[in-house]
Chain A
Amino acid sequence: MLRTALALSLAAGVALLAQPALAQGTLRIAMTASDIPLTTGQTDQGGEGMRFMGYTVYDALINWDLSSADKPSDLKPGLATAWAVDASDKTKWTFTLREGVKFHDGSEFSAEAVVWNLDKLLKNDSPQFDQRQAAQGRSRIPAVAAYKVIDKYKVEITTKSPDATLPYQLAWIMMSSPAQWEKVGKNWEAFARTPSGTGPWQLTAFQPRERAELSPFKDYWDKARVPKLDKLVLLPLPEPNARAAALRSGQVDWIEAPAPDLVESLKGAGYKIVTNAYPHNWTWHLSRVEGSPWNDIRVRKAANLAIDRAGLKELLGGMMIPAEGFYPPGHQWFGKPSFKLSYDPAAAKKLLAEAGYSPAKPLQTRILISPSGSGQMQPLPMNEFVQQNLAEVGIKVDFEVVEWNTLINIWRAGANHDSSRKATGMNYTYFIQDPFTGFIRHLQCDLKPPAGTNWGIYCDPEMDKLFDQIRTTFDPVEQTKILQKTHEKYVDDALFLMVTHDVNPRALSAKVKGFVQAQNWFQDFSPISMDK
């Protein structure tokens, strides 16, 4: 009897220990988005969509490691435990899948589900094809040519040409549950209301444009990431003042992107402002079409030396990281560029004089900017600041101000397109989290519009060679070295006017505990708890 009782109490103790610590409150977050991001898998609303509705409810085959605030995030196994490229055919990849993973609806994740999800995006005539998800996901996996099931836990993906950046591309692709889609009548709209992924959170309530409620998925495969909170509530509050008021009145506990002029008052009222570097940059993308003044490296270098980045930081109340390159300083791909982005107007003037310009006989040019937009920080005062800096050394800039969505379309069309209105540069902010979005898409010769987004129509065989090496170097350590070399060339050739990086600010109530702000566009909400 005693032994039975002991065994029972021991079993109960073990069960208690195995249970993740729950009942740690509700976290209410005000997002900057104006709607709840798409809930079906491939989210909309850019990085914010993936942050709140992608990596919460879903997993990719390969996930981002969001556990550290101290170093830039890297990839880590997600629904795939291992992946390798075929030694004899570098276009063939085999992914070994994690066994025993369940979707929120209880169905099992398998190789069939991976193929089903890729068909959802890439195969227009598949029953599960979803044009909204295809629009979001298709451009994220440009390398994928074919895929097939090898066995229950193995998938083969073939790329169009050897491409070592495939793992980064796949980190975008979220796996939705085929069984749940069948269960809700093979209808994505119905699936959107009751979605099912394999992620640490499951959607328990969803009201379009108003709120979404997520609860922990207790059977999540990564026990270390089972959420501590009871509930996560997401509210779309696009207006920055409304977000701040919601925080200060206790309606929410966390706001994304507080306006810089509100930061001090929020700090004074006892709220925590958390910031960190992340792969974002705020640049002027320079046109390299014939006749552009930026074709002269002396002009490009002079412009980069003319910017008082410390002064700009003061203007933004400290909410920026001054650019030292195209990537934020400290990034694993930064390398050792020899061209230092210091503030040196005298050197800038000298270089411009060599190129035939001076404050008396300035270079006159036109730049496209936008009054606001995703990741644009404070574009009007910042651009005016840069304009003043450049004027001081002999570059007179006129702005052509267009609305953000129009600017995106101009960017897709290319600097030689009529819509660019003979501008020789545009202020653009970039998501630079992986080799393709960070480097390749901006400058590869055959990615000139309409094939890609090489807006400046830049083409340098040497750079293309580096891009080829990035794609064909399958050893991560070696690949990192080439990425560093690429970054060195970006900086040493002064290919962009590199100004600053955002710090991803968010304001949190003092009750929010355990948040680790990863150096990433996405974040992990699992370790967070709320003080009573």
Chain B
Amino acid sequence: MLTYLAKRILYVLPVALGVSLFCFLLVHIAPGDPLTSVLPPDASQQMQEEIRKLYGFDRPLPVQFGLWLWKAVQGDLGTSIATGRPVAAEVWRAVGNTLLIACLATVIGFVLGCFFGFVAGYFRGSFLDKFASMLAVLGVSVPHYWLGMVLVIVFSVQLGWLPPGGAGPGGSASWKWDWEHVSHMILPAITMSVIPMGIISRTVRALVADILNQEFVPALRAKGLMDFGVFRHVVKNAAPTALAVMGLQLGYLLGGSILIETVFSWPGTGFLLGNAIFQRDLPLLQGTILVLAMFFVGLNVLVDIVQGLLDPRVRRR
């Protein structure tokens, strides 16, 4: 098991290096200049060159990458060009904020997705199936941005029930678990939950349909089990896959959504990424992508390890 563990962790290194090199190159290939966010537009090219030197952007790319990587392995993701604040602190704060709404969105998505999926799968072909499937398709295909704005118009502007944006009356730094703050999470979390809801619902529907076709189901019925008892067995069989899919969705949601977080001014990773992109803030962009990518890599390693623990065949591969 230890060898397996060591192997999995060793595999992380080339992935991490690849991700950092890829995101470094990507942001340099993209059009635009990191100094755009720093300099007033009327700064001449000469002035631009002067400032470029001050920031070290005149050095060859491999040198810039090497320096950045050297600091990154020591936990220093540099400082934002636009704000001068340390990137690591900004990213962790944003990850924390996104976790809040991502977890709530996961719960909403999972509960509703499973409910619609089980109903649709169990009553396949019925009106209930069609209705639940329609909701699932809607969830996957409705544009986030649009849904977010509609929810704001209805629940914030017209009804005045929920706040339209922000992370609480005093911002995320003074977050408290009271209604005044939690109410700010609801609309972004609902908007964020519709895609996982749709995906889970469709997955569970297919799973349930598949399980219902297996031989043990008629056997259960033959033994005299009523509908509810059979349904319980179906749920038990479908749960692990549904959970795995949900785990994956949580991973996606952690990356935040640029559009949702912008519509709701939620200070999470999506909002941060959006800002970094528009301001061409390279260190912030690189740092955010790297941390998010490492989250995915870390989650994968964790899943591998858990799988290895549960199934000895995986360890032997």
Interface residues of A (CB under 8 A from B): 34-35, 38, 44, 46, 124, 131-132, 134-136, 138-140, 188-189, 192, 205, 207-211, 235-239, 241-242, 245-246, 248-251, 374, 403, 405-406, 408-409, 411-413, 431, 437, 441, 447, 449-453
A249 and B44: CB pair below 8 A? Answer: no
Contacting pair B31 A239 (CB below 8 A)? no
Give CA–CA (A136, B36) in the complex, Å.
11
* Shortest Cβ gap from B43 to chain A (Å): 4
Q: A211: which of B39, B42, B46, B171 is its contact (CB, 8 Å)?
A: B171
Nearest A residue to B167 via CB reads A210
For the A-B complex with A131-B54, A136-B39, A251-B156 known, give 8 more contacts whose Cβ atoms are closer than 8 Å.
A207-B173, A208-B90, A211-B166, A245-B164, A246-B165, A405-B36, A409-B33, A412-B48
CB within 8 A of A135: which of B51, B163, B171, B272?
Answer: B51
Bound complex: CA A46 to CA B278 (Å): 15
Q: Return chain A residues, CB-CB under 8 Å to B37.
A: 44
Q: Which residues of A sit under 8 angstroms from B32, Cβ to Cβ?
A: 403, 405-406, 409
Cα(A482)–Cα(B31), bound, Å: 41
What B residues does A250 contact at CB under 8 A? 160
Question: When the two chains form the complex, which single residue of A38, A210, A251 contacts B171, counting CB atoms closer than 8 Å?
Answer: A210
Which of A35, A245, A409 is within 8 Å of B157, CB to CB? A245
- Give the complex CA separation of A493 and B192 in angstroms: 56
Known pairs A44-B82, A135-B35; A251 contacts B40 (CB<8 A): no
Instruction: Tell me how far the C-beta of B145 lies from the nearest C-beta in chain A, rounded to whole angstroms.
Output: 9
Whole-angstrom distance between the Cβ of A85 and the nearest chain B Cβ: 25
Q: A137's closest neighbor in chain B, by CB?
A: B40
Binary contact track B39-65/A, C-beta < 8 Å → 1, others 0: 111111111111100110000000000
In contact, A409 and B36 (Cβ under 8 angstroms): yes
CB pair B46–A450 under 8 Å, yes or no, is yes
Contacts of A208 in B (CB 8 A): 83, 85, 90
Closest 7 CB pairs of A and B: A450-B45, A210-B171, A139-B43, A249-B156, A245-B164, A207-B171, A135-B38
Find out whether the CB atom of A451 lies under 8 angstroms from the CB atom of B44: yes
- Do residues A138 and B47 form an inter-chain contact, with CB atoms below 8 A? yes
Q: Most chain-A Cβ atoms within 10 A of its Cβ — which of B156, B167, B264?
A: B156
A513 → B minimal CB distance (Å): 23
Tell yes or no: B256 within 8 A of A by CB: no
Shortest C-beta distance, B283 to chain A (Å), equals 13
Q: Which chain A positions have C-beta within 8 A of B116?
A: none
Q: Which single member of A44, A189, A431 contacts B38 (CB below 8 Å)?
A: A44
Which A residues are CB-close (under 8 A) to B48? Answer: 412
Instruction: Count chain B residues whose beta carbon lies closer than 8 angstroms to a beta carbon of A.
Output: 56
Task: Report if B300 contacts A (CB, 8 A).
Answer: no
Chain B interface (Cβ within 8 Å of chain A)? 31-33, 35-51, 54-55, 79, 82-86, 90, 149, 152-153, 156-157, 160, 163-167, 170-173, 262-265, 267, 271-272, 274-275, 278-280
Shortest C-beta distance, B53 to chain A (Å), equals 10
Whole-angstrom CA separation of A412 from B279 in the bound complex = 17
Give the distance to chain A from B146, nearest Cβ to Cβ, in Å. 10
A209 touches B271 (CB 8 A): yes
Give the CA-CA distance A408 to B48 in the complex, in Å.
Answer: 12
Task: With both chains docked as a complex, state the minimum distance between the C-beta of B37 and any C-beta of chain A, in angstroms.
Answer: 7
Contacts of A211 in B (CB 8 A): 166, 170-171
Q: Are B275 and A34 in contact (CB under 8 A)?
A: yes
A235 close to B38 (CB less than 8 A): no
Question: Smallest distance from the beta carbon of B235 to chain A beta carbons, Å?
Answer: 40
Interface centre among B54, B165, B172, B275 (most CB of A within 10 A): B165
Contact B40 A210 (CB under 8 A): no
**10 A-B Cβ contacts within 8 A?**
A35-B275, A136-B38, A239-B263, A245-B153, A245-B156, A403-B32, A406-B31, A437-B42, A441-B42, A450-B44
CA distance A31 to B267 in the complex (A): 15
A246 to B163, CA, bound (A): 8
Complex alpha-carbon distance, A207 and B49, angstroms: 32
Q: Given A134-B54, A412-B44, are A239 and B265 also a contact pair (CB < 8 Å)?
A: yes
**Which residues does chain A contribute within 8 Å of B83, judged by CB atoms?**
35, 38, 132, 208
- Residues on B with C-beta less than 8 A from A411 are 41
Q: Which one of A134, A211, A235 has the highest number of Cβ atoms from chain B below 10 Å of its Cβ?
A: A211
**Distance between B95 CB and nearest chain A CB, rounded to angstroms:** 14
**CB-CB under 8 A for A192 and B84, given A210-B171, A237-B265, A406-B32:** yes
Do B55 and A131 have beta carbons less than 8 Å apart? yes
Query: Do residues B39 and A135 form an inter-chain contact, with CB atoms below 8 A?
Result: yes
- Bound together, the chains give a CA A207 to CA B124 distance in angstroms of 52
A311 to B44, CA, bound (A): 36
Contacts of B278 in A (CB 8 A): 34
The CA of A413 and the CA of B49, in the complex, are separated in Å by 12
Closest A-chain residue to B33, C-beta based? Answer: A409
Q: Which B residue's beta carbon lies closest to that of A239? A: B262
B45 in contact with A140 (CB, 8 Å): no
Interface centre among B41, B47, B79, B272 (most CB of A within 10 A): B41
Given contacts A208-B85, A242-B262, A249-B163, contact A139 B267 (CB under 8 A): no
Whether A245 lies near B165 (C-beta < 8 A) is yes
Given A207-B171, A246-B165, A189 contacting B262 (CB threshold 8 A): no
- Whether the pair A248, B157 counts as a contact (CB closer than 8 A) is yes
B272 and A251 contact, CB distance less than 8 A = no
A38 to chain B: which residues have CB within 8 Å? Answer: 83-84
Residues of B within 8 Å of A413, CB to CB, are: 45
Q: Give, as a whole number of angstroms, the nearest-CB distance from A60 to chain B.
A: 15
- The chain A residue sitting closest to B89, CB to CB, is A208
Assembly CA distance A223 to B153 (angstroms): 43
Q: Tell me which residues across on chain A come within 8 A of B31, comparing CB atoms.
A: 403, 406
| Interface contact B264-A207, CB-CB below 8 Å | no
Q: How far is the CB of A407 from chain B (nearest CB, A)?
A: 10
Q: Contact between B171 and A189 (Cβ–Cβ < 8 Å)?
A: no
Nearest chain-B residue to A414 (Cβ)? B45
With A131-B51, A241-B263 already in contact, the answer to whether A139 and B42 are too (CB < 8 A) is yes
Inside 8 A of A449's CB, which chain B residues have their CB?
44-45
In the bound complex, how far is the Cα of B33 from the Cα of A209, in angstroms? 22
How far in angstroms is the closest Cβ of chain A from B84? 5
Contact (Cβ within 8 A) B152 A207? no
Q: Would you call A238 and B272 a contact (CB within 8 A)? A: no
Name the distance in Å between A521's Cβ and chain B's nearest Cβ: 12
- A207 neighbours in B (Cβ, 8 Å): 171-173
Cβ of A242 and Cβ of B84 under 8 Å apart? no
Choice from A35, A210, A409 contacting B82 with Cβ under 8 Å: A35
Residues in B with CB closer than 8 Å to A452 are 44
Closest to B48 in A: A412
Complex Cα gap A211–B272 (Å): 15
CA distance A237 to B290 in the complex (A): 26
Say how far A285's CB is from chain B's closest CB, in angstroms. 13
User: What's the least CB distance linking B33 to chain A, in Å?
Assistant: 6
The residues of B that contact A249 with a CB separation of less than 8 Å are 152, 156-157, 160, 163-164
Residues of chain B within 8 A (CB-CB) of A135 are 35, 38-39, 43, 51, 54
Specify which chain B residues have a CB less than 8 angstroms from the CB of A134 in the assembled complex: 51, 54
Q: Which of B166, B167, B263 has the most CB of A within 10 A?
A: B166
Partner of B172, one of A210, A237, A441: A210
Most-contacted residue by chain B among A34, A188, A250 (CB, 10 A): A34
Report the Cα distance A289→B139, complex, angstroms.
55
- Which chain A residue shows the least CB distance to B44? A452
Instruction: List the B side residues contacting A246 at CB < 8 Å.
Output: 164-165, 265
* A132-B83 Cα distance, complex, nearest whole Å: 8
Residue picked from B36, B51, B167, B171, most chain A C-beta under 10 Å: B171
> Which residues of chain A are within 8 angstroms of B39 by Cβ–Cβ distance?
135-136, 139
Partner among A136, A209, A241, A406 whose Cβ is within 8 Å of the Cβ of B149:
A241
